[in-house]
Amino acid sequence: MSSVAMKTRTRTPMDRERVVLSVLIPVYNELDTIRTILDQVHATPIRKQVICVDDCSTDGTREKLAELRDAGLIDKLHLQPNNQGKGAAIRQALALSTGDIVIVQDADLEYDPADWPVLLEPILDGRADASFGSRFLGGPHRVLYFWHSIGNRMLTTFSNMMTNLNLTDMETCYKAMRGDLARSILPRLTADRFGFEPEITARLAKADARIYEVPISYAGRTYAEGKKIGWRDGVAAFWHIAKYSLGA
């Protein structure tokens, strides 16, 4: 068993008064939503470090992020020199993080920071090293695409087969992790686009991390409203699952 895995077995509850949550926000062309999501983030009653990484937005988001940083809503802002993908943006944000817990927060309003308390609870009380927010465990959600839900379940099932986990929603954005564990995995993360989700899941499984799932709400967007992930990303995800589950 690795040293990281051994550490996961001896964790005690965290001091809730001192815990700092690093919020990792990858951003690409979210001018209409970025201020709203930051307001929601700051409305959540937990000490936090807000880190935004802009993936070379072209709609004015970069300039807006600079304004929001100057207004005190962003603690650390990194502007990617070229468009590299969501995974690359999350890696950059994770490298800038120092919090006791880290969480990925999309900027598109599909995921609600009001769900953080239930998501973070298993980590705070020492039961878990990572906590996934599942869109399929009964939380309220917007009714959208049938085939997206089928594809998600297929990807989650394949990931579970490869990692020997029993997740219901591997592709969820809401993955919270102990900061020390996440940063120890960082040097091995390589996925640039949406392959981040199967990769981090496989890395956590290999680290023998204790993973919990909790129900969350989900307000999915349509493509007309700005949804970016497409069928090509779904097909690529099968390759990512095999690559990161079978590789070193």
Give a yes or no: residue 210 inside a domain.
yes
> Which ranges of 188-230 does DSSP label H, i.e. alpha helix?
196-206
Give a yes or no: residue 6 inside a domain.
no
Give a yes or no: residue 242 inside a domain.
yes
Rounded to two decimals, the pTM is 0.87
Alpha carbon distance 237, 157 (integer Å):
12
- In angstroms, what is the C-alpha Rg of the chain? 17
Give a yes or no: residue 81 inside a domain.
yes
pLDDT in tens, 142-181: 555 565 677 778 889 999 999 999 999 999 999 999 999 9
- Do 189 and 108 contact (CB within 8 A), yes or no? no
Is the per-residue pLDDT at 88 higher than 80? Answer: yes
- The alpha carbon of residue 96 and the mean position of all alpha carbons in its chain are separated, in whole angstroms, by 15
Q: Is 225 helix (H, G, I), strand (E, B) or coil?
A: coil
Give a yes or no: residue 10 inside a domain.
no
Contacts of 162 (CB under 8 A, 6+ apart): 202, 241, 242, 245, 246
Show the domain range for 101: 17-246
Give a yes or no: residue 9 inside a domain.
no
Phi and psi at residue 108, in whole multiples of 5°?
-100, 5
Give a yes or no: residue 3 inside a domain.
no
Split into its structural domains, the chain has a count of 1
Cα–Cα nearest to 158, from 237, 231, 229: 237
Which CATH number does the domain housing residue 80 bear?
A: 3.90.550.10
| Per-residue confidence (pLDDT) for residue 222, from 0 to 100 | 56
Confidence of residue 247 (pLDDT cuts 50, 70, 90): confident
